[in-house]
Every structure is written in structure tokens, then in C-alpha cells.
Amino acid sequence: MSRESFLRGALLLIIASITTKILGMVMQVIVNRLLGPEGFGLFRTVWPLLGLIFTLSTVGLPTALAKVIAEAIALGDEAKVRRAMRFSGFIVIVLSIIFSASLIMIAPSLSSKWLDPRSYPAVVALAIWVPIINFSWIVRNFYMGIQNQTHPSIAWIVETVARTAVTIPLVYWANQFGLKYAAAAVMTGIGIGELCGFLYMYWKYRRKDRHLHNLPPLEGKPETSSRTVRALAQIAVPTTFKNILGTMAYAAEPLILYAAFANVGVDKGPATRLYGSLGMAISLLLLPTVLSSVLSTVLVPAVSEAAALNNSAVIKRRLYQTIRETLMIGLPATILFLIMGHDVAVSLYRDPLAGDLLMYLAPICIFIYLREPLAGILQGLNKAGISTVVSLTGSAIRMACIYYFVSKPGLGIYGLADSTAIAAILSTILYFFFVKRYVSIYVDWADSVKLLTATALFAFIVYQTKMALSSSTPGTRVITALVIGFIVYLIALLLLRVIRPHTLEKIPKIGTGLAKLLRQIPILR
């Protein structure tokens, strides 16, 4: 067994995430142009079902598994790791087969009565891949538990490469038979990609990583099987409850949206196109969550291990690192979307409405980016019940706001955007309030001012580039602003000592050489 430090593990996943996001964006742009807003909206009506079926068939065990394994390794209890893996794997496989078969059986009535009738092939395609997707997450969270992010990172890249290579030609071919088959092709490509990533991880697990070495000596007797199951249930039950209601709300979103649009005289076809435009905007808005999601994933086992050893100082440090790194990416992303959101969406999707919606939602970006890491802290502290209550509160507010705002004449799809913003702001504030009750939050004000200064320089560069290239194409403006702005931002972070050479040493393969090179520059020593 090998493990990595918190920062190195996070950097590994961030590198993998950036790589996969670039590949995924290439695929998404091509596929969205093939599908158009209506085809993408059709895919979006089916996509929430994956989250719902995943929640029902995994019953929160992947998240619980990472936490329980981290605690067991910290205490040297190898038998507990084995029991947790066997129990989780068995339950997930059985439930996956049951729910996958059930979804296939109800797909005709589900698509015809509740969703767009054209969604039937995509629903069936989704159901076929459920077992593979779910078991892949069991193996992935085993690695999160032992705090070894190398293989999940590589598997993520393998998955994305395979998905991109399969989905684009498959959608191009299926599109000639109609949008419903093209939407199903997207779902099929996702499944094939997940299969490839799973096969890589499982091969590594069977070949080497199922054998645990260098564990600390076990104090006392090994934990009993019933206590291991209870430990899993403490996290799995509230997580499942939260995810069931949350994903049900997400899955119900298209239904509520169609009903609200019907009240103001908008049919399903135009409503699906509007929903597709908002989906494009939100997919761009969520790109920086690549960092917050990674930090949240790494955070749960790291905090769980620290909590098992009663090390409050490490928990405090992990929280500060998480918020700091999230803001380091989230602040410039917010600025970019606020100033050039329209250009970004038009250059990628050729959809002006998606661009308008992206700029409209940009001010709430930072709330969305902080939400996952804060929830991860609560889960790591065994406070998953609180995280559940906050998540459900946000979902309830969102559902109520959707029907109210979308039904108001004149708001339309902007009503759904308002609902997203209100729910994100309130839920993030609640997460922060509860985290503060259990962890002493440290703020380095000098470091914060430096980060804001670097962000202000980035904003100045982006705005001036947009003005200087006003007669150019949107794509030219975006690429130029990103390249120049990123270079200036990175230099500012280095000069202001927000990023230090010793931090860069944690980057796999190139970190040591890069840090050594930077130390040769006098102003960076």
C-alpha cells in the first residue's frame, strides 16, 4: 500500500481534473453543436436520473467507505478494511442490478408520462451502465480511503479519453436517426468511458493495492463485523437520505419546469431548448468545481484520519488549505464569467442565451465553489446528518423558487437561474455556519489581501483585453484574455508569495525541478 500527503494527493487529482476537463470540454463543445440546445436539453432531462439511481443503488456506501478505511488505517486495523470492502461491494452490486433492471422496465411509461417522450432510448442506455458506474466508485473510494490518488487520477484520464473517443463518432452517427438516439449515444459514451476507467483501477487493485503494508501497530482487539457495519451506516444512512431527496429534487426539476412553463403558455419543445441553454451556462459555471470537488474528495478521508487521532490542529489546517485553494481558482473564474461570460458561451456553443445566463449567474460562483469542501469537512467530522439537513434545505428552497419564479410572466428561464442563485447562497452560508461550530476557522488576512490583489490584476487584464479586441471574434477575445490574464495572475501569485516554491515541489514529476528553477530567480527566493 502506498499513500500520499494531502497536498500531493490533491495536486494529483487537480492535474487529472484539468486534463479531463480540457478533453471533456472538447467533447462537450462538439457534441453540443451536433445536438443543439434542444438535443442538449433532451439529454439534461435524463441526466438527473443517473444521480437518483446512483444514490438508491449505492446507499451512500462509497463515501462511507473512504472515511471508514481512513480511520481503520490510522488505527492499524487491516481486518476492518477488508470487511468494509466486502460488505460495500456486495451490497452495491446487488442493488445496482435490481435498480438497473427496474429502470429498464419502467422506462416506457417514465419517458412518455413524465419526461419528453423522446428520452426513452437515453433512459435505457443509462440503466445498462449503472452497475459498472457504481462498482467503479467503490474501488475509487478505496483509494481515497488509503489516501493514494495516483490510480484514480490516471483512471480519470483513461475514462475521459475513452469517453471522448467513443462519444463524438457515436453521436455523429446516431444523430442521423434523430435527437433521441443522439442523446442515448451520449449516455452510452459515458458508460464506456466509466468501464475503461474502472478496468484500469480494478487491475491495479487486484495486482498490488489490495495488500496493505506499513500500517501502524493495532492497539487492542480488531473491531467486530457488526461495529464495522455500524461505522459504515453512520455515514451511509444520512448521506443516502440527503442524496435521495437531493437527487429526487434534481430529477424533479424538469417536471416542475415544464409545469411552470405551461402556466405561462410555453410548450415542451421551446421549454426544452431554454433548459438546454441554461444547462450549457451551468456546465461552464461548474468548470472550476474541478478544484472544489477534488479538495472535497481528498478532504473527507484526511479529516477522518485526523479526527480518529484527535488531531484538531490538522483539521484546522486542512480547512484553511481547502478554502484558500478554492478561492485561488474560484475568484478569477468568477471575474472571467462576469466580464466575458457571453463571449465564452458564444465561442464554445454558439448560443447567445447561454452566454447571457452565464454572466447573469457569475456573481454567485464563489458560493457554489465553496459548498462542496465545506460539506466534505462535515462528513469527515462524522457530521453527515448536518450536511444532509443543509443540503435538503437548499433543495427545498430551489424547488419552491423554481415554480414561483418561472411561472411569473416575463422571467422565464431567468426564473430558474434566480432559483439556482438563491439556493446556492443560502446553503453555502448554512454550511459555513455549521463548520464554524466544530472547527476554529483561521484567516490569514495578509495572504487574503495578496490573493485579492492578484485577482484584481487578472480582472484588469481581462477587461482591457476585451475592450482592445472588441472588433475581434469572441473566441479570439477569450483565448487572448485567458492566456495573458493567467500569466499575469500566476506571476502575481508568485511575487506576492501566495504560491511558494516549496508548494510547487508537491507537483508530481515536474515539481522538484520547477521549484529549483524558480529559486534561481532573486525576487522569488
DSSP character string of 51-68: HHHHHHHHTTHHHHHHHH
Cell digits for 426? Answer: 443560502
Closest CA to 511 of 502, 521, 524: 502
Cell digits for 137? Answer: 466508485
Whether the predicted pLDDT of 510 surpasses 60: no
- 97-106, 294-303, 441-450: which is most confident: 97-106
Between CA 275 and CA 416 the distance in angstroms is 9
Closest CA to 402 of 386, 382, 381, 417: 417
Run of H or E residues at 126: helix 120-145
pLDDT at 460: 92
Between CA 246 and CA 520 the distance in angstroms is 51
By percentage, how much of the chain surpasses pLDDT 90? 1
Whether the predicted pLDDT of 502 surpasses 80: no
Yes or no: say if 173 and 115 are a contact pair by the CB < 8 Å rule.
no
- For the chain, give the longest Cα–Cα distance: 73
CA angle 500, 443, 382 (to 5 degrees): 105
Cell digits for 511? Answer: 515539481
Whether the predicted pLDDT of 5 surpasses 60: no
Whether the predicted pLDDT of 435 surpasses 60: yes
Between CA 519 and CA 216 the distance in angstroms is 37
Cell digits for 345? Answer: 458561451
Between CA 8 and CA 12 the distance in angstroms is 6
176 DSSP assignment: G
Question: 489 burial class (0-12, 13-18, 19+ CB within 10 angstroms)?
Answer: buried
Whether the predicted pLDDT of 405 surpasses 80: no
Cell digits for 354? Answer: 447561454
Average confidence score pLDDT of the chain: 76
Whether the predicted pLDDT of 357 surpasses 60: yes
Yes or no: say if 277 and 413 are a contact pair by the CB < 8 Å rule.
yes
3-state secondary structure 481-499: HHHHHHHHHHHHHHHCCCC
Q: What is the pLDDT of residues 42-60, one digit of tens each?
A: 677 777 777 778 777 887 7
Yes or no: say if 375 and 296 are a contact pair by the CB < 8 Å rule.
yes
pTM above threshold 0.85: no
Whether the predicted pLDDT of 166 surpasses 60: yes
Whether the predicted pLDDT of 21 surpasses 70: no
Closest CA to 391 of 62, 88, 60: 60
Q: What is the pLDDT of residues 67-99, one digit of tens each?
A: 788 777 777 777 777 888 888 888 888 888 888
| Cα Rg of the chain, angstroms | 23
Cell digits for 421? Answer: 442563485
Yes or no: say if 493 and 454 are a contact pair by the CB < 8 Å rule.
yes
- Reduced to 3 states (helix: H, G, I; strand: E, B; else coil), residue 441 is coil
Between CA 366 and CA 425 the distance in angstroms is 9
pLDDT (average), residues 360-374: 85
pLDDT (average), residues 35-46: 70
Q: Given pLDDT bands bounded at 50, 70 and 90, which one contains residue 521? A: low
For 59, left (φ over 0), alpha (ψ -120 to 50), or beta? left
Yes or no: say if 191 and 45 are a contact pair by the CB < 8 Å rule.
no
Yes or no: say if 342 and 358 are a contact pair by the CB < 8 Å rule.
yes
Yes or no: say if 77 and 217 are a contact pair by the CB < 8 Å rule.
no
Cell digits for 395? Answer: 433543495
One-letter amino acid of 67: K
